[in-house]
Structure formats: C-alpha cells, structure tokens
Amino acid sequence: RSVAHVATGEAKAGEQGILHAAAARGWPVVTHPTDVLATVDVPNPSRIVHAAVGTPSVAEAAALVDGGDLLVPKRTLSGSRPSMATVAVARRPVRGRLALVSTGPGDDRLLPDLARSTLASAEVVVGLDQYVDRVRGFLRPGTEILPSRIGDEIARAETAIVAAREGRSVALLSGGDVGIYAMGSPALERAGEDIDVVVVPGVTAAAAAAALLGSPLGHDHCAISLSDLLTPWQVIRRRIKAAAEGDFVVSFYNPRSRGRHWQLDEARALLSEHRKPETPVGVVTDAYRPGQRVRTTTLGDLDPSVVDMLTIVLVGNSQTRMIGGRMCTPRGYM
C-alpha cells in the first residue's frame, strides 16, 4: 500500500465526502488543529483561505505537517466555483530502520531465517569483526560495513542509530541473543521514535549450552552475569543469594576472565549455602563453535581454572540430576 493516510484540518473531521472517499479505499483519516496547520510552511498560501478558516493552507499544510516532499501542489476540482475539494499530495520522509540482529552462538545452522532475510535487506551493518565475518555470506553485494572496536558498545549503538536516522536500513549485530547482555539495550536506550526498530531473536548461550548438556533449564531458572564492570559486585552478590534461596537453576554469563578471577569462587560459595556439593554443574565453552567443550561436574568439584570468558556455567537446583550422562532438571511430574 503506497497511501499512508488522508490528512485534513480538524474542522473537516466530520466531512462526509472525505470520510467516504477514504473509507472506500481503506485509507485512514488524520486531522490536525488549525493553529498547527497555520505554522506549516507551504508553497501556495492563500489570504482568502486564511480569512475563511484561520490558516493560509489546509491541503498543502496537512500534507506537509509531518515533513516530507510536496509531490502535487494543491489543486482544486476544475470547473467548480467555489471549489468543492482541494487536494495536495506529499511523500512522507523516508524512515530509517534499525534491525537488532541476533547471530546465535556461532553455528550458521542456528542463525534463524528471520536474521538471514534481515541481513540480506540491510544497507549498512554495524558489529564487531567476529560477528560481521560470521554473517558476511548473507549480505547483499555493496552492503556498507561500519567497523567497531571491541568494548565500545555505546559508540557502536550510536553509529547504528546515526545511520538509521539518515533513512538507511541498518543491522546491528550481537552474538547469541541481541537482547541478552548485548547491544539491544544500549541501542534502544538511545533510539527515538524517529526510526523504526525490529528485534530479531536468537539462541542465547544458556539455551545453546543447555541443549548440549541435556535439559538443565527444565524448571525455574535465571541468568546472572558475573561481570562487575557495569554492575557493582554487591548487587550481583544479592542476586546470587536470592537465586540460591529461591532454588533457581542459574546460568552464569561472563563467569571469569584474566582480570576477574575470584567472582566465580564467591558465587559457588554463596550457592553452596543452600545447595549440596553433589549438585550437578555444566561447564560449556565455545558452544556451537569450533573447539566446543562440554563438561559436567558438581558444585563441590567445580574447577574455576577451566572457566574463561568463552564459557557459560549452568548450576543445577536441588532437583537437578544426571540421568544417562545428561543433566536434567525435572519439571515435577510424578
């Protein structure tokens, strides 16, 4: 459909000719107050119209009130005096589109069709090199790639939004799911109503790791990031304690890095206040990527030295068991 709506002044809100013509074609009718129309800059203002209705233009002003280009200047029904209808046509400004695209854990087979078609229609792609490389084969020739430095998430979000505000179709990439510890929030915190936004969901690390381990997330569970770069440790600690008391299965994202080596130990100690040492734990590194490692251990035996930033740690609850070598949290059926 190429017609967005029919626009006129509020005084014409009940005008049957307009309402019938629009309804017959399925076009919505939008009305604007006279004082708003009077402020719109138009090419063909009329003193006569101003004297009659309080604004120098109705048709052109209503067409241009939201911005855009005037395609057809006002024209009246020829031969009728006074004219029975005046019409102008404007093309609305092109709205940019920001697609927040989840690229999954790393295997193309876990990149959803919606992500593929969104990438194929993007004019601009913003993301870390590693994610851009992963989706390069899905981009159309000529797609502009805006490089971005690791760690600079705010700058990356702003780069994508600026490109979308120019009226372009932009894809902003994240690994796993774009809304989970990723670019979704920094982008949406900064995006206004002036651009369209779509979010393409994907397979997050917890779901990918859970699939490799068995069914550890089969009952109530939560995710906690152990990175205290953006969240004070006291807040993280409180959440771990709450998860421990609530008997949630916990997926620990960002569990350990060279600079953050003690947090996982403390998290384990906090959970151990409420869970037995034999509670099953899954440790998955590089899920669905080359070099994938899947280990199962227990809360008592968990060795933090095998955990790094490419790893996710899933700690079972009081009901989680190893069955046939697979980690399973029962749903509670008897």
Ligand X SMILES: C[S@@+](CC[C@H](N)C(=O)[O-])C[C@H]1O[C@@H](n2cnc3c(N)ncnc32)[C@H](O)[C@@H]1O
Binding site for ligand X (CB under 6 A): 105-106, 174-177, 180-182, 204-205, 208-209, 253-255, 284-289, 309-312
Task: Choose between 127 and 175: whose C-beta lies nearer to ligand X.
Answer: 175
**Residue 180: exposed, middle, or buried by beta-carbon count in 10 A (0-12, 13-18, 19+)?**
buried
Q: What is the separation, in whole angstroms, between the first and last Cα of the chain?
A: 55
Least distance (Å) between residue 215 CB and ligand X: 17
What are the phi and psi torsion angles at 272 (to 5°)?
-65, -15
User: CA torsion angle for 152, 156, 162, 164 (degrees, to 10)?
Assistant: -170
Least distance (Å) between residue 10 CB and ligand X: 47
Residue pair 275/298 in contact (Cβ under 8 Å)? The answer is no
Task: Choose between 168 and 256: whose C-beta lies nearer to ligand X.
Answer: 256
Least distance (Å) between residue 103 CB and ligand X: 9
Least distance (Å) between residue 159 CB and ligand X: 19
What residue is closest to ligand X based on CB?
176
Task: Choose between 125 and 283: whose C-beta lies nearer to ligand X.
Answer: 283
Task: Choose between 8 and 148: whose C-beta lies nearer to ligand X.
Answer: 148
DSSP single-letter state for residue 143: -
Task: Choose between 63 and 284: whose C-beta lies nearer to ligand X.
Answer: 284
Least distance (Å) between residue 99 CB and ligand X: 16
In angstroms, the CA 262 to CA 307 distance is: 11
